[in-house]
Amino acid sequence: MGTASDPSTWVAQHGDALYRYALMKMRDPSQAEDMVQETFLAALKARERFSGESSEKTWLIGILKHKIIDHFRKHKREQNSDDIEALREQLEQQFDHSGHWREPLSHWQAPEQAYENREFWQVFSACIAHLPERLADLFILREIKGLSSNEICKLLDISTTNNMWVMLSRARMRLRNCLDSHWFNRDLDKQNQEAG
């Protein structure tokens, strides 16, 4: 049996990791702080059951994940189908009437190199944040391991898994366009602006 460390050291030890995790998923700093606090208070009550099989941090992140799922369950976001509809129309513009690309996509040169660049991750999170809210939620919930498609559909009021796939496809295409114009081809953009 392992024992949890002194709870009065938790914030110093794990506060930043939990907060960043929560912030990635909630996207709202004050909500993320609330999640961290709830996690610590729940862990406090449950600390006798901490087995030490996993690290303390893994145990705490496990609790945080449940808190986040609960949060999504309780506060279903306002349905904003207008945004999603507008996005659909915008994305369809990229294809002609027979469903072919109107313009070829520009190639991304060695994209993984961007991982080393902190600025890239800022652009990346901004691109996710600019998705219509339900699409962003969908994207994020998919990355929480252990949630089935059915559960995700229930949490976000999506009627069928087929609809979920269609939504994910739009989210990815939007994200692709956003990264293209704000990262991989941003110089091109700048040049065009200067020329124009």
Partner 1 sequence: MLSCKEVGELLSQELDRKLSLRERLRLKFHLLICKTCSCYEQQLKFIARSVQRFMQSSDGAGMPPLSEEAGRRINSNIREQLNKEKQSAS
Q: What is the 3-state secondary structure (H, E, C) of the chain?
A: CCCCCCHHHHHHHHHHHHHHHHHHHHCCHHHHHHHHHHHHHHHHHHHHHCCCCCCHHHHHHHHHHHHHHHHHHHCCCCCCHHHHHHHHHHHHCCECCCCCECCCCCCCCCHHHHHHCHHHHHHHHHHHHCCCHHHHHHHHHHCCCCCCHHHHHHHHCCCCHHHHHHHHHHHHHHHHHHHHHHHHCHHHHHHHHHHC
Using the contact rule CB under 8 A, the part of the chain among 48-56, 73-81, 136-144, 187-195 near partner 1 is 136-144
Binding of residue 95 to partner 1 (CB under 8 A): yes
Return phi, psi of residue 101, to 5°: -60, 135
Query: Which residues are bridge partners to 101 per DSSP?
Result: 95
Binding of residue 84 to partner 1 (CB under 8 A): no
Please identify, using beta-carbon distances, which residue of 133 and 196 lies nearer to partner 1.
133
Out of 2, 3, 41, 163, name the contact with partner 1 by CB under 8 A: 41
Binding of residue 139 to partner 1 (CB under 8 A): yes
Binding of residue 11 to partner 1 (CB under 8 A): yes
Gap between the Cα atoms of 83 and 9, Å rounded: 44
Out of 2, 52, 62, 111, name the contact with partner 1 by CB under 8 A: 111
Token pair listed for 85: 């509809």
Binding of residue 15 to partner 1 (CB under 8 A): yes
Binding of residue 72 to partner 1 (CB under 8 A): no
CB of 77 to partner 1, least distance (A): 19
Binding of residue 37 to partner 1 (CB under 8 A): yes
Count of residues engaged in binding partner 1, rule: CB under 8 A: 58
Please identify, using beta-carbon distances, which residue of 52 and 111 lies nearer to partner 1.
111
List residues binding partner 1 (CB under 8 A): 7-8, 10-12, 15-21, 23-25, 29, 33, 36-37, 40-41, 44, 57, 61, 92, 95, 98-101, 104-105, 107-108, 111-112, 115, 118-119, 121-122, 124-125, 139-140, 143, 149, 164-166, 168-169, 172-173, 175-176, 179-180
